[in-house]
A and B are shown apart, each in its own frame.
Chain A
Amino acid sequence: MSNPIIESGNVAAAMAVQLARAEVIAAYPITPQTPVTEKLSELIAAGKMDAEYVAVESEHSAMAVCIGAASAGVRAFTATSSNGLLYMSEQLHWAAGARLPIVMCVVNRAIGAPWSVWNDHQDAISQRDTGWIQIFAKDHQEIVDMTLKAFRLAELVHIPVMVNYDGYYLSHTYMPFEPPDAEHVDAFLPAYTYKHALTPERPESLNTVTLPDARLDVDGIKRGGYMDIRHNLHEEMGKSIEVWEEIDQEFQALFGRGGHPVIDPYRCDDADVVIVAMGSMANQFRVVVDRLRQNDGLKVGILALQMYRPFPSAIIAEALQSARHVMVYEKGLSYGNQGALYGDIKSALYPYPARPRLHNFIAGLGGRAIPTESLYQTMKTACEQDLQTPSAQADAPQWIGLQL
């Protein structure tokens, strides 16, 4: 077991990429992700990491470099934030459709306009339908561990993985964490190989125009069309949840950490009211939960969602079955509708006869502070009102901390 160190979340991510022996790093600066790529350039320049460092001219090209490298069978990494993620959106769909096991850290930040460099989750949420696996870390230790596990997952299921963590709250704060030791990482994460890797010895044309219907190949074997390939992506994304759980067990056996790879419940067992949140806000809620239980006698728990895509509907529905109320707090939304996570949870619960009542809260957009005190107060008010006077299901999200 290595000794804990105190470093920023961005450095934690870079250390994980170093330990994972990523071989091609595509780098383009954007706040608040920039220190990840700076740190990686430093590690490579200092001879502490052996990788190709490509300083590209845009995020679109950053993902293109990763696509090229991964298609040739080499482990690739990049990191971005906010509009950078959106600029590479086309490439995200491409990487997933091509089934390339690229890992990318997304340091979550609000999207312009207007410009904001501060944190929310709208960047990642807006890319939820790209076919990428999306996981959310809530502290520095999870940034390191999840990034390493992400490489393993990506290469086992051949689907790219986006490791999300909150801009500034996690990226720029300094917290203690244990970096896994390199020897165990090598045992955990074997070298990447790809059956369709570009090579003159076995020439194939990748991502060719694909017809709506199945077609015979040169050997007379029927090959599915576009829809069949996309269906396979969907099916195998769903099956990735199970693989993610298995990876977590392997990781736990080697490093002694883990156990809650998909959802991380805190004091949910007997809870009447369960809060659901992603990222650092979920950790912030632990204090709120403790206070509500201690001061107000409210049976409240917090369920941190670690894996957002594929959406673990069955796992979430089961976890929320015994709650009477579910409060979904999120830092992003589907404009003109409701919180994206809220909609997903509602849909996950729909098939079950005993459905808790759901409440949606939008918080922290563009870095608007989310004081723990205000979380406590909104929760307390909501619990007291709703628990005593049940009202009709109200879908409209409540915005926390508006200053209009």
Chain B
Amino acid sequence: MKTTARTTVLNLTEEEFIHPGNRACSGCGLSILYRVGVKALGRDCIFVVPPSCLTVMQGLYPIAATQMPVLNGTFASTAAIATGVKAAMRRLGRETQVVAWAGDGGTSDIGIQALSGALERGEDIIYICYDNEAYMNTGVQRSGTTPQGSLTTTTPFSGKSEVGKDLPAIIAAHNPAYLATCSASYPLDFHDKLLKAKQIKGLKYLHVQTPCPPGWGIEEHMTVALGRAAVETGLFDLYEIENGRMQLTGPSQQLLAKPTLRPVREYLELQTRFKALGDAQADALQAQVDRRWAGYRDRFR
């Protein structure tokens, strides 16, 4: 059930697949993911990318930052385009991995219909959602996964009033071949989950929390620290679901041994997007995390 591969910083390949000097913001969490993730995928893959930060990051015509083939497509159709590319690979007798790589808006909002269809059909693709919890490429508007209380340019004064979608749970309800949550702050965990996904037939969904300095209101050097805080406070859990069974993985699994987690306020207070969050809301969030983790301890310890 656990991630079987164990890549370390020492044996991770030095081969790079993404050119420097691209248009990602300084300190971009997606850049870390993308750079390390593609090392697991290798060169025999084709990316399908909808409008997102990745569209900009991977180059403006006629220069591409990515050294692998990329098909840019419309916002709502990522999983369907990937379906078409994969069907073509089968016709051509090729094992090439087809990897859809979309943001949270492109996945949880406008792209969910195409993704749901691809899940239902059991398409043999890898779908990666890098979740930076708002429409960052268009300048930080609320998305389906934006957490409650978060300030965005469309929830400007008191923050988003609704609770964000639990997208992995929606995906899990489709019984995908493999589902994993990951964090940009743990790129090796992401790398190894991708290695595992490559070996599995059917739709593999990886949901990656991806801190965004301009969108979250953090300093550029805090990207990795922030993602780590999300995991260590128990707000964002790393897990896998295979054959319907959920298992905490890596850093989140290690937290099971601890009697208490870091308080959620340590995570919230590092970000200006939670400035409008009141004490009562922070307490409610803490209570929610405590309840979930009490459940985890009962189940997994």
Q: Give residues in A with beta carbon < 8 Å to B.
A: 23-24, 26, 52, 54-58, 60-74, 76, 90-91, 94, 198-200, 202-211, 215-218, 223, 225
Known: A198-B71, A199-B69, A200-B43. 5 other contacts (CB 8 A): A54-B83, A54-B87, A61-B77, A64-B77, A208-B70
Of A74, A204, A215, A216, which is within 8 A of B69 by CB?
A: A204
Give the contact-size bracket for chain B.
35 or more
B63 at the interface (CB under 8 A from A): yes
CB distance from A283 to the nearest CB of B (A): 36
Interface centre among A64, A70, A90, A200 (most CB of B within 10 A): A64
CB <8 Å contact, B61 and A211: yes
Min Cβ gap A63→B in Å is 8
Check A57–B113 contact: CB distance below 8 A: yes
Residues from chain B with a CB closer than 8 A to the CB of A23 are 88, 91
Question: Is the beta-carbon distance between A69 and B87 smaller than 8 angstroms?
Answer: yes
Q: What is the number of contacts between chain A and chain B, taking CB atoms within 8 Å?
A: 173
Residues on A with beta carbons closer than 8 Å to the beta carbon of B70: 203-206, 208
The A-contacting residues of B in range 111-125, CB under 8 angstroms, are 113-114, 116-117, 120-121
CB neighbours of A203 from chain B (8 A): 43, 64, 66-70
Q: What separation, in Å, do the CA atoms of A210 and B72 have in the docked complex?
A: 12
Could you tell me the distance in whole angstroms from the C-beta of A85 to the nearest C-beta in chain B? 16
Cα A206 to Cα B85 in complex, Å, equals 13
B82 beta carbon closer than 8 Å to chain A? yes
Q: Does B287 contact A (CB under 8 A)?
A: no
Instruction: Look across to chain A and name the residue whose beta carbon is closest to the beta carbon of B68.
Output: A203
The verdict on B76 contacting chain A, using a C-beta distance below 8 Å, is: yes
Contact B83 A73 (CB under 8 A): no
A230 to chain B, nearest CB (A): 13
A-B contact pairs, 8 of them (CB 8 A): A52-B90, A58-B113, A69-B84, A74-B92, A204-B64, A208-B59, A215-B62, A223-B62
Taking the closest CB of chain B, its distance from the CB of A216, in whole angstroms, is: 8
* B79, chain A: closest CB distance, angstroms: 8
Taking the nearest CB of chain A, how far is it from the CB of B67, in angstroms? 6
* CB <8 Å contact, A90 and B61: no
A-side contacts of B76, CB under 8 Å: 60, 90
* In contact, B64 and A68 (Cβ under 8 angstroms): no
A residues in contact with B209, CB < 8 Å: none
Give the complex CA separation of A302 and B120 in angstroms: 50
Asked if B63 contacts A217 (CB within 8 A), the reply is yes
Chain A residues with CB under 8 A of B91: 23-24, 52, 69, 74
Residues of A within 8 A of B56 (CB): 209
Question: Which listed residue (A54, A94, A211, A215) contacts B84, Cβ 8 A?
Answer: A54
Contacts of B87 in A (CB 8 A): 24, 52, 54, 65, 68-69, 74
* B68 neighbours in A (Cβ, 8 Å): 200, 203
Contacting pair A71 B85 (CB below 8 A): yes
B129 at the interface (CB under 8 A from A): no
Residues of A within 8 A of B69 (CB): 198-200, 202-206
Q: Which residues of B contact A210 (CB under 8 A)?
A: 60-61
B84 to A66, Cβ gap below 8 A?
yes
- The A interface, classified by DSSP as helix, strand, loop or mixed, is mixed
Closest 8 CB pairs of A and B: A68-B84, A57-B117, A72-B88, A61-B80, A64-B80, A64-B77, A65-B84, A205-B64
Docked complex Cα distance between A211 and B63 (Å): 11
The reply to whether the CB of B58 lies closer than 8 angstroms to some CB of chain A is: yes
Q: Tell me, yes or no, whether B96 is within 8 Å of chain A by CB.
A: yes
Query: Which of B66, B74, B114, B117 is close to A205, meaning CB atoms less than 8 Å apart?
Result: B66
Closest to A91 in B: B74
Are B96 and A200 in contact (CB-based, < 8 A)? yes
Q: Which of B79, B84, B85 has the most CB of A within 10 A?
A: B84
Q: Which residues of B contact A58 (CB under 8 A)?
A: 113-114, 117
Nearest neighbor of B96 in chain A, beta-carbon distance: A200
Residue on B nearest A215 in the bound complex, by CB: B62
By the criterion CB–CB under 8 Å, are B80 and A65 in contact?
yes
Say whether B72 contacts A208, CB under 8 Å. Answer: yes
Distance of A26 Cα from B96 Cα, bound (Å): 21
CA distance A57 to B79 in the complex (A): 11
Known contacts A24-B91, A200-B45; decide if A55 and B60 are in contact (CB<8 Å). Answer: no
Restricting to B40-70, which residues have a CB under 8 Å from any CB of A?
43-46, 48, 55-56, 58-64, 66-70
| Bound-state Cα–Cα, A57 to B76, Å | 12
Q: Cβ of B72: which chain A residues have Cβ within 8 Å of it?
A: 205-209
**Contact A205:B58 (CB < 8 A) given known A57-B116, A61-B80, A65-B80:** yes
| Interface: B1 (CB within 8 A) | no
B82 touches A61 (CB 8 A): no
A21 to B113, CA, bound (A): 29
B81 within 8 Å of A (CB atoms): yes
Q: State whether A74 touches B43 (Cβ < 8 A).
A: no
**Set B48, B60, B82, B114: member contacting A208, Cβ < 8 A:** B60
Q: Does B73 contact A (CB under 8 A)?
A: yes
Does B89 reach chain A (CB closer than 8 Å)?
yes
A64 & B74 in contact (Cβ 8 Å cutoff): yes
- Complex CA gap A209/B74 in Å reads 12
- Complex-state Cα separation, A71 to B80, whole angstroms: 13
How far apart sit A70 and B71, CA to CA, in the bound complex (Å)? Answer: 11
For the complex formed, measure the closest distance between the CB of B199 and the CB atoms of chain A, giving whole angstroms: 18
Most buried by B among A23, A55, A200: A200
Chain B neighbourhood of A72, CB < 8 A: 46, 84-85, 88-89, 92
Q: Is the CB of B82 within 8 A of A60?
A: no
Residue of A nearest to B19 (CB): A218
